[in-house]
Amino acid sequence: MGRRKKETKEAKRPNTFIISYASLSTIILAFFICMSSMATIVEEKVVRGFYSIRSSFGVGGGDVAPLEEFKGALNEYTLTGIEHEAILQLQTFLQKHPFSENIHLGITKRGLIVSLGADLLFSPGSADLRPHTYPILERVAMLISSCDNPVRIEGYTDNTPIHTPRFPSNWELSGARAIAVLKFFLDEGIPAKRMVAVGYGETNPLFPNDTPEHKAKNRRVWIILEGKPQRIKKSKAINIRGFIFEVK
């Protein structure tokens, strides 16, 4: 009789190991899901930070960041109508260029922006392209040719006045520089109907014109491939004891 009662008690005893293991697995899964969600939030904040980092200086519609700084965002975002691999190839080419410190690249709300320092492209007070910049523009033209996105070319100067027969003011200088880049792309076979060139003069500076370095950064040409930024979808899988959980 005593033996039978003992067996009955053992049969009713719960398998605490199985219950504990199941609870532990659930906790681990919940932990990884939580961490994944937090990582996504951080990534989105970083990208939004790149979008607005210089908005305080009056740059409308978005901004750009140095190549190395924007690498993470380019890995997270692409542009509608353009093969993302082509964007990354352009980024790699520009990073290796000897004048990469004067070149900036970014995906913003306006589209893909390639920002080239005016001192890289032109001599002071000139709108004639320097020959050593041709390979850069040719590579950008390759990307433009690979898609149908509209192209907008914007010229900017600093606030140093200019008064010459050809350029009575910075408006004429910035416009002529934008047109010079447009004409280069025409020679590369880009259809004229896809492009527009605009000169902004000294308006919309990236930085206050208070130092020679800031003025140099404000003198620039933006080549904008217009389009909508699109987040690259990446699935995240978690393996727990042979069970694969996909976190989206």
CATH number for position 55: 3.30.1330.60
* pLDDT level of residue 2 (50, 70, 90 thresholds): low
Say if residue 158's pLDDT is above 70: yes
Triad 159, 163, 169: Cα angle to 5°: 55
Residue with tokens 């790699």: 92
Q: Is residue 121 part of a domain?
A: yes
Does a structural domain hold residue 192? yes
Closest CA to 177 of 214, 237, 221, 133: 221
Q: Is the pLDDT of residue 171 over 60?
A: yes
241 belongs to a structural domain: no
> Is the per-residue pLDDT at 32 higher than 70?
no
Give me the residue label for tokens 């520089």.
Answer: 177
DSSP category for residue 190: -
Say if 59 falls within a structural domain: yes
Has residue 127 got a pLDDT over 90?
yes
CA–CA separation, 115 vs 105, rounded Å? 6
If you average pLDDT over residues 65-87, what whole number do you get?
A: 70
Residue 146 structural domain: 49-231
Dihedral (CA of 53, 55, 58, 61) sign: positive
**Higher confidence at residue 99 or residue 168?**
168
Average pLDDT of the chain, as a whole number: 77
Which of 57-66, 198-207, 208-217 is the least confident region?
A: 57-66
215 phi-psi bin (left φ>0, alpha ψ -120 to 50, beta other) = alpha
Average pLDDT over residues 14-43: 53
- Domain assignment present for residue 57? The answer is yes
Total domain count, the chain = 1
Give the alpha-carbon dihedral of 96, 101, 107, 109, to 10 degrees: -170
Look at residue 142 and tell me whether its pLDDT is greater than 60: yes
Residue 123 lies in a domain: yes
Task: Please check the confidence at residue 70 and state whether its pLDDT lies above 90.
Answer: no
Q: Is residue 102 part of a domain?
A: yes
Establish if 177 belongs to a structural domain.
Answer: yes
pTM for the model: 0.69
